[in-house]
Structure 1
Amino acid sequence: MLLTPTVKVAKQDEQREQAFAIRRKVFVEEQKVPLSLEMDEWENDSIHFVLYDGDKAVGTGRLRPWEGQSGKVERVAVLQDYRGQGSGRIIMKAIEEYARKLGMIRLVLNAQVQAQKFYESLGFQVEGDIFLDAGIEHIKMTKALS
């Protein structure tokens, strides 16, 4: 249960490693995404966010510049024990606020189809058709930042 949630931008190597450890647990171990696909060429160009419950890292996400004044949200993951408690919403709110501060006017993401309703609840809209990424069905979604 989330008691004292805070989201931090990962500015130190230790924080980035915490983000990567969560991603390995969720995407590589649970969802069987190959590590070679999970860790990609955009790691150093992305802003990584870590959700903490007290001092424990429990969730993550990343944002990177994308086509003009847009930002691409990727690698949103929450440890199993912290799902269904608003953790993903807290991470996404922090990413959205940060994107606005950077002057981004739109967010784009490729949601796993099973998470589509979650992103719709945050104001994202489907754009296009379902496609496979790492063997998992995804759908492109966008949100205008006002």
Structure 2
Amino acid sequence: MHPNDGFRELDRQECLHRLARAPLGRIVYTRQALPAVLPVNFSLDDDGAVLLRTAADSELTRAIDGVVVAFETDEVDTGTHSGWSVVVTGMATVVTDPSEHSRLCRVGPRSWAPSPREVFVRVQPELVTGRELMGGRTMYGTDLSA
């Protein structure tokens, strides 16, 4: 990022802090050899892994188990032209350990569309990046937030 482009890079800890506050995100994966994006609710585990809860037999579960995915969340204020975005890239795996599944039933995300048989998907945070758009900056003496 260029120092005057209006963006500020977020470090890993700041990214994880913002992720923990966000109610929704987007899982980015491949479907039929094409990019696919699906909005999901989520939570963060103690190690910073993104946790999803979904139907065990869903297309999403089949598509992302054992593959690298991206997960993105953001917050935008169109009035002030400011906001932030965080992207987590890593391996997605269905949680199969019964004790881990029980733990996540207590502390993990709650599904907004419950299913009779649900699984948890963990996205290990191999790469965590983020940036913040600083609103109201000026360029050549012109206020861009007006």
**TM-score over 0.5 for the pair:** no
**Of the two structures, which has the highest relative contact order with CA contacts closer than 8 Å and spacing of 6 or more?**
2
Scaled to the shorter chain, the TM-score interval is: under 0.3
Greater percentage in strand: 2
Greater percentage in helix: 1
